[in-house]
Amino acid sequence: MKGYIRGAQYTTDPANKDEVLAISAEATGQKAEDFELTYNEHIGEIPATGKPNLVPSSRRWMGRSSSADCPVLIS
């Protein structure tokens, strides 16, 4: 857990964004600019502590029933 938490803390520090994108792109075989789309969408929801919290899990879908309610990643 210590290693994971260090990783989470480093990942969620905005100052490390470019390096995190480069590392993640290398690990996943994606282009950094493609990975950045999901990074921007999810980075605010990655807990730096790794502490489990299931309460917000339903938040993203609430109130969204049409495409107009959803963030557009690909147009």
Partner 1 sequence: MWKPGESASRRRSSQFAPLYVAKEKGYWEPENLDVELTSFKSGTENQQALLGDAIDIGAGGYTEPINLTSQGAPTVIFASAEEGLPHNLVAAKGITDVSQLVGKTIGVSKVGSLSNQITRIALTKAGIDADKVWTSSCAS
Q: Which of 15, 20, 32, 33 binds partner 1 (CB under 8 A)?
A: 20
Does residue 33 belong to the site contacting partner 1 (CB under 8 A)? no
> What span, in angstroms and rounded, lies between the C-alpha atoms of 7 and 74?
29
* Cα dihedral sign, 26-32-38-42: positive
Joined together, the tokens standing for residue 12 give 């969620």
Closest distance between partner 1 and the C-beta of residue 14, in Å?
13
Specify whether the CB–CB gap between 70 and 64 falls below 8 A.
yes
Closer to partner 1 at the Cβ: 14 or 58?
A: 58
29 near partner 1, rule: CB under 8 A: yes
Which residue of 14, 15, 33, 71 would you call a contact of partner 1, by CB under 8 A?
Answer: 71
